[in-house]
Amino acid sequence: MKIAREGYPLIAFTAFMFLGSLFFSPGVAFFLAPLLGLVVWFFRDPERVPDGEGFL
């Protein structure tokens, strides 16, 4: 899966918060895990294939 370059800082920040919460407050990590998944999902960059022969 390709990730959009614009999302790298936000994904890194969310991952840092998630990993930090694993050590200091595991309960918070329970809520940050879905948030991290949502951020990664939002910034995914799937291959797009247009319908038809490529004409407008």
- pLDDT tens digits, one per residue of 5-40: 999 999 999 999 999 999 999 999 999 999 999 999
C-alpha Rg value of the chain to the nearest Å? 16
Q: Using 50, 70 and 90 to split pLDDT, how confident is the model at 55?
A: low
Q: Does 53 fall in a domain? A: no
Domains contained in the chain, number? 1
Q: Does 38 fall in a domain? A: yes
| pLDDT score, position 53 | 73
| pLDDT score, position 1 | 79
Q: Does 55 fall in a domain? A: no
- pTM of the predicted protein model: 0.78
Q: Using an 8 Å Cβ cutoff, are 42 and 31 in contact?
A: no
Q: Which domain holds residue 21?
A: 5-42
Q: Does 32 fall in a domain? A: yes
| pLDDT score, position 54 | 63
DSSP 16-54: HHHHHHHHH-HHHHHHHHHHHHHHHHHTB------STTS
Does residue 48 surpass a pLDDT of 90?
Answer: no
State whether residue 9 is helix, strand or coil: helix
